[in-house]
Each structure stands twice: as structure tokens, then as C-alpha cells.
Structure 1
Amino acid sequence: MRSIKVHTTNSTNVFLSAYYREQKACGNVYVVAEKQTSGKGQMGTVWHAEAGKNLTFSVLIKDVDILLAEQFKLSALVALSVIEVLEAIKIPKVEIKWPNDILADKCKVSGILIENVVVGAKINASIIGIGLNVNQLLFDSLPKVTSLSAVTGKKYDLEELAEKLANTIETNIYEKQKQPIEAVLAVYYQKLLGYKKVATYQLPSGENVVGVITKVTPSGFLNLALETQEKQFAIKEIKQLY
């Protein structure tokens, strides 16, 4: 897959979105930035990363063929692709925190932001932004955040990691996008923090509740069995405490 390297950009997702609009005839491509000034996270949050020590990059995948009603299939495939690469380089205890944060030894090591191009009832292309803490060791006062180097004591090649991640994401999307959503979710559940286990969650009001994840819907909602009822939550409507 072709790669583009930039020193500084506001957001690699924004960069690739403009690139896609201007050059629709291009093939799949990924862009890596040494520094992002406004890295994007889920629901408008900001991704902070120390320049030159971490991966901030986005991948454009064209010819996606996934129903919009099953859009979480894409999110699950991307998260599982990141897990696959990290396990291949022996990062221990990697798992997914719904919807697609990646943890290593119960600390966040990666975040994913997916922005889709929709045609009719299907996802036609996808811009997949990934922030991965790699060689940074200090995170100021950020709670439960880590990096690959902090976990293993090793230093990693950023370019090599970006290439592996981009190619693995591309391969898994093309090979598995036609699998039934239930089959993809079954693999996702194997890596999902708190699946079928009692855990504590926090509501936007600040109230803590105890519940068990029973499933994630094809559109990405979280089903949680609470003490008296089963309830469905969207992103940012509930926070998993761990």
C-alpha cells in the first residue's frame, strides 16, 4: 500500500478526507504524521501524542462493501487487526475496551476513529485513524495510559509498525467483510474487556452501576444487563471503569 509521510498536520483523518475528495481515482493509501496539532478521537475528543515517539496515522480503504446497518463489523475488524499486530510483536495482555480502544495490561495504548463514506445503504470507503503510543514513556497525569515501550522495555520502529498495521487492516477488511456479522462479533467478544463478566460502569450523571456486557449490536450499541433490566447504550453514554 502506498504511504504518505508528513511532518505536521492538524489531523491525519482530515488530511486523508481532503486527499480522497481531490483524488478519488487513487488506490488505498495511508498517511503518517510526525506531529498532529488537532488529533481527533471519538465524539470530538482530542488525541494527544508526543511528536516523533508515537504513531499518528490514518488509512484510506476503498471498495468497502459493508451494510451501513452492520457498520460495527468494520470497527470490530479494525480493532482486531490492531490486536493481531500487537500480539505478533509479543505485546502482553492486549484487549479491546468497547467500542475500539486497545488496552495493554489494562492501560490504554491505542485509540481508533473511523469515518466512513456511505453510498446508499452501504459503506463504500473508510478513513481509519489510529493513535498508538509506541516509544513514549511519560504521560504526565493521564490515568491508565501506557505505550508499547513502557510495557515491554523495547523500542519500536514507527515506519515498520505503520506498514504492518495498514496492510493487516486492508487484508482483514477485504477477506472478512462478507462474513456474517455474528462471526466477526464472536471473535471480537474473545478480546472484549468485561464481556459476560460483572463490572462497574459510570453513567453521564456520575452514578456508578454494576452490569454485564451481553452483546454489541451490529450498529455498535452496547447491551448491558443491569441489576433490574437490560439496557442499550451508545458511545459516550456509559463509561467502563476498570
Structure 2
Amino acid sequence: MVLQTVSCSYLDRFYQSNVDHSLFTKTTGTMFTAILIYVDDIFVTGNDLPTITALKNHLGTAFDILSDAGQLGSRPAYFPMERHLKLNDSDGTPLVDPAFYCRLIGHLIFLTISSPDITYTVNLLIQFMHAPHEPHQQAALQLLQYLKTTPGYGLFFSSAYSFQLSAYCDSDWASCFMTRRSTTGFVVKLGDSPISWHTKKQSTVSRSSTEAEYHAIANTSCEIKWLQFILRDC
């Protein structure tokens, strides 16, 4: 089965795998490109840079978040969120069309897979999807303006072989004004390359900043142990 959804010449002749129907491959001489689709996530890899670039450009044209949100002409923003911004579920006017906000946050959730710099902001905005208000939408649009300003930001995966895991974690004590729960954040690196990151509100209320830090360390340790098991299978 030939992948028919794109017409770009670089993307002709992709074939569907008989073993895994979500895998599409293209081989031209020594050049190889693979597209793996998992639900609504798409992973592209290979050694054929023109094909990979063409595919990314096509997806950027067909699925442009800025265009969908009407932010193509928006002003630049240099931070994902305004400093000291405190959002809660009661400030401002409820949105007339909450579906727009929910759709936008859904797009942003998938961007966190490759953009750890927006993870904290997206995690905060997710908490208001049940009843979004005007300040929440303004914060989401600010995040889009930041993404428009920083299209070249991405992850760097070093070609140097190193299986040494290192991790950094932190917590924001009682940062949620609605529940007084703290927020955990961590990033795990394999060698010099980040391979896992996470931002989430803690499940219990910490009575001190020290307790919040211990929760963050515990969550990070669990992630490291899980990654160690995966690496042993590689």
C-alpha cells in the first residue's frame, strides 16, 4: 500500500509495512526514511534529510496551530508565560466557546513531546479545560506567540555514545492557589541528550518545601529506575 495522503515529490513511494500497518518506509539507493504513526503522533527518522524536511514542511502547512488559532500575525513573545502570573478557576469571564480553548490545548499537549520548554505552561493550562475563562485563553495565546518567536528551538541528540543517566528535579511549593499542592518538574538525560521530562502537580499537599522536594526526588528516582530497565533490554 502506497502512502497517498501527500503529493510532494519527496514523499512519493512510501510503502506500508505488512508487519506493522502504522509503519511507512521509503528506500532510494542508500537513502532510507521511516514514518511511524501511533494514534495521532507521528515519528519520522532516517538518513534522507530532504525527504524528512519535505514531510515536516508538508505537515506544517496542513496542520498549522498558529493558523488554526488565527495567530499568524500575532506579536512576538519571548517567554512561554508572563512572570508571576497566577491563574485560578474563578478569575475573568467564562469563555463563550470553550471548544476552541480545549482544541488549542490538545494541540499544545502533543508539542510537549518535542518542546520541554513549554511543558510547565501547558500543564498549568490543562487544569482549566473543564471551565476555561478569558485569562486562561490569553495565557494560551501568549504561549502560541512564544512558539512563533522560537521556531528553531528543539532537542539536540548527541551522536556520542554514552549510557550514563543523569537527572535534575525541582518543586514549586504550594504553587496551586486552588489546592495548595506543589508542582514537580524533572528532566532526565542520557549522556548529553534529554530523553524524558515531566511536570505535574503532586498528589498530596506538602507541609513544607523540604517535603515537596522529597516528593520530586522520589518521582524522579522512579523515572530513572524505569529507564534503567529499558536500557537493559536494548
Instruction: Give yes or no for TM over 0.5.
Output: no
Q: Could you state the TM-score of these two structures normalised by the residue count of structure 2? A: 0.30
The structure having more radius of gyration, on CA atoms, is 2
Q: Could you state the TM-score of these two structures normalised by the residue count of structure 1? A: 0.30
More helix by share: 2
More strand by share: 1
